[in-house]
Amino acid sequence: MKKYKTHVRAANMLLEALGELKQEKLQKIKQKLEDFSCKCSDVPKYSRKYNMAISRCWHKAAEKIRSRMSRDLNDFSHQLEQFKNSIDTDQMKLPKLGDVVAELVQIEDELGEIKFDFKARTISIITETIALEGITFGSFEIRLYLYEIKKLTFQSPYKIVALDPNPAGSNCDVTHPHVSDENLCEGDGFIPIRKAIQQGRLSDFFTIIVQILQTYNPDSPYVSLSDWEGTSCYDCGYTVSGDDCYYCEECERDYCSSCSTYCQICDTTVCLGCSYECPSCNKPVCEHCADVCTECNEQLCKDCLNDEGLCNNCQEQRKEQEDEELKEEPTTAAETKPEIQSDSVGQTRISA
Amino acid sequence: MRIMYINNSGGGFADYMNIEEDTSIAKLFKQKMPHEEAANYLIRVNRQPVPQDYILKENDRVTITPTKIDGA
């Protein structure tokens, strides 16, 4: 028995945790019982009101109470059924200490070394290297947090920690097709896992999880195996392989071919968000190859601005203006010039 | 004869049940999971693997766990 001293200690901790879970479940039933009792207390109220209405011949009031009772009885029967279900299904029998120790010994026999952390109140095992369809995900630590068992109804009391992670290219939190952020998406294992924990069958609990990790369900992975090595487009989320992935040099993120383009002046790869379509020539350009017209302030590609920074429209307008000014020059000169006369103009030659 | 039967697939059944005398583990598996292949399950009696002709005894603890369980 000395050999199993740590096992006995861990088994006692598990029993304590299961005791807390049982207490939680009993508390929940207590709450439901109170709600149910409250609902039942409505019946005498209805009875009193109904009797009064009948005795005073308030037929309209009596009908109103009757329809309200009918509606409430529908709710009542539903609540009664739910209450009975929860009382029947939430029965929990704590396992014996010897059985829990036997579970721990079985884990060691079948799944390898078991790790107890009495301070952190955890029991863990480490799986062999998991590989699915040629992709290796390394080994995982399945860590059961005993103090979380009491919340079993609402959340999983364990984590799946990747020890040599090979995360999906598109999401570094996904370390296995069915593990994200150290949480296992249990699928078909959901109920058996909970029942195994609740009944103290830790060997079954760890075995079920190992079997889930060794199985690939192509219908609902976080990231499918075919997309494992790929990169997720920052814009649309579509996963693309390395060759089809484009890196935007402006925002420094990866994009798919549909969400990226290249600057048609300097050939830089940019995403659609960082590119700018010149309204004049419709060419996509990067922000370095776009500028504003010094006259109208419209943003255009550098190809559509002249050396003075003018767009075509402004250049034309300026040309027209200059032409008009040239045309107007002779007439206006005649009107204005007399004021500044050159020497001899308008003077009469007088002989000496 | 009463045995403890734990099925870690589906609803995770785990309770005592009565079986006929001289029932082998293979026969029990066939009765309980008629459409399944035994090769796809880890079958343990009293926490140990047993041959398929093992005859179940009173209070034996039978555990059946699928080798493949679909996550989601």
Among chain A residues, CA nearest to B65:
A208
Mutation pick from A174, A175, A215 vs chain B, by most beta carbons of B within 10 Å, is A215
Distance from CA of A105 to the nearest CA of B (A): 10
* CATH number, position B26: 3.10.20.30
Burial (CB < 10 A; 0-12, 13-18, 19+), residue A347, is exposed
Who contacts A288 (Cβ-Cβ below 8 Å, separation ≥6)?
A263, A266, A268
Min distance A187 CA to chain B CA atoms (Å): 4
Chain A nearest-CA distance from B19, in A, is 23
Which of the residues A108, A203, A211, A214 would you substitute to probe the B interface, choosing the one with the greatest number of B C-beta atoms within 10 Å?
Answer: A211
Interchain CB distance below 8 Å, B14 and A199? yes
Judge whether B72 lies within some domain.
no
Q: Does an H or E element contain B30, and which? A: helix B25-32
Q: Is residue B11 part of a domain?
A: yes
Average pLDDT estimate for A111-127: 94
| Inter-chain CB proximity B69 and A188 less than 8 Å | yes
CB atoms within 10 A of CB A57: 8
Backbone angles phi, psi at A32, to 5 degrees: -65, -35
Given a cut of 60, whether residue A23 has pLDDT beyond it is yes
Min CA distance, A216 vs chain B (Å)?
7
Identify the contact set of chain A against chain B, taking CB-CB distances under 8 A.
Answer: 102, 106, 109, 177-178, 184-189, 191-196, 199, 201, 203-204, 207-208, 211-215, 217, 219-221
**Per the domain annotation, does B42 fall within a domain?**
yes
Q: Do A191 and B10 touch (CB under 8 A)?
A: yes
Q: Domain for residue A77, yes or no?
A: yes
Does the beta-carbon distance from A187 to B71 stay under 8 Å? yes
Arithmetic mean of pLDDT, A191-208: 94
Q: Alpha carbon B41 to chain centroid distance?
A: 9
- Domain coverage including residue B59: 2-66
Cα R_g (chain B), whole angstroms: 12
Of A67-81, A139-153, B41-55, give the lowest mean pLDDT range: A67-81
Question: Of A23-32, A102-111, A216-225, A324-333, which range is least confident?
Answer: A324-333
Specify whether A106 is located in the same domain as A199: yes
Q: Shortest Cα distance from B2 to chain A (angstroms)?
A: 18
- A185: closest chain B residue by CA: B72
Q: Are residues A105 and A155 in the same domain?
A: yes
Supply the DSSP symbol for A37. Answer: H
A258 domain-assigned: yes
> What was the pLDDT predicted at A28?
85
Q: Measured between alpha carbons, how far is A222 from A232 in angstroms, rounded to an integer?
A: 13
Judging contacts by C-beta atoms under 8 Å, the chain B residues touching residue A212 are 69-71
Domain membership of residue A154 (yes or no) is: yes
- The answer to whether position A296 is within a domain reads no
Q: In what order do the strands lie in the sheet with A158-162?
A: A114-117, A122-126, A140-145, A158-162
pLDDT at A140 over 80: yes
CA distance readout (Å), A274 to A121, A237, A285, A287: 51, 17, 9, 7
Residue at A233 is within a domain: no
Could you say which of A225, A258, A273 is where a domain stops? A225
Same domain, A172 and A246: no
Whether residues A121 and A139 fall in one domain = yes
Lowest mean pLDDT among A111-120, A127-136, A329-338: A329-338
**CB–CB of A310/A294 below 8 Å?**
yes
CA distance B12 to A60: 54
Closest in A191, A193, A220 to B72, CB measured: A220
> Is the residue at A297 inside a domain?
no
Q: Is residue A343 part of a domain?
A: no
User: Does A216 lie in the same domain as A111?
Assistant: yes
Query: Which residues of chain A does B68 touch, with a Cβ-Cβ cutoff of 8 Å?
Result: 211, 214-215
What phi and psi, each to the nearest 5 degrees, are found at residue B25? -65, -35
Same domain? A85 vs A107: no
A137/A25 Cα distance (integer angstroms): 37
Strands A140-145 and A130-132: unpaired
- A82 plus A105 within the same structural domain: no
Q: Nearest-CA neighbor of A152 among A163, A144, A160, A162?
A: A144
- Could you give the number of structural domains in chain A? 3
* ipTM, two decimals: 0.90
Identify the closest residue of chain A to B62 by CA–CA distance.
A204
Contacts of A33 (CB under 8 A, 6+ apart): A83
* Residues A79 and A189 occupy one common structural domain: no
The structure tokens 């207490």 sit at A23
- Per-residue pLDDT for A151 more than 80? yes
Strand partners for A141: A126, A161
Rounded to an integer, the average pLDDT of A263-280 is 91
Domain that holds residue A121: 97-225
- For A186, which of B63, B68, B71 is closest by C-beta distance? B71
For residue A244, being part of any structural domain is answered with: yes
Same domain, A258 and A189: no
Alpha helices in chain A (DSSP H): 5-40, 42-55, 59-89, 97-111, 190-198, 202-213, 312-336
Q: Which tokens in the block code for residue A38?
A: 């409250």
CB atoms within 10 A of CB A211: 22
Mean pLDDT of A93-113: 92
How far does the CA of residue B36 sit from the closest CA of chain A (Å)? Answer: 16
What's the Cα-to-Cα distance from A242 to each of A225, A233, A237, A247, rounded to whole Å? 15, 11, 15, 10
B-chain residues within 8 Å CB-CB of A189? 69, 71
Residues A229, A240: Cα–Cα separation, whole Å: 9
Q: Is residue B71 part of a domain?
A: no
Q: What CATH number should be reported for the domain holding residue A208?
A: 3.10.110
pLDDT recorded at residue A350:
55
Same-domain check for residues A82 and A121: no
Q: Which of B12, B65, B72 sits opposite A195 (nearest CB)?
A: B12
Over pLDDT 70: what percentage of chain A? 92
3-state DSSP assignment of residue A270: strand
Structural domains counted in chain B: 1
Q: Report how far residue A192's alpha carbon sits from residue A157's, in angstroms, rounded to the nearest whole number.
A: 14
User: Domain check: are A102 and A85 in the same one?
Assistant: no
The share of chain A scoring above pLDDT 90, in percent, equals 53
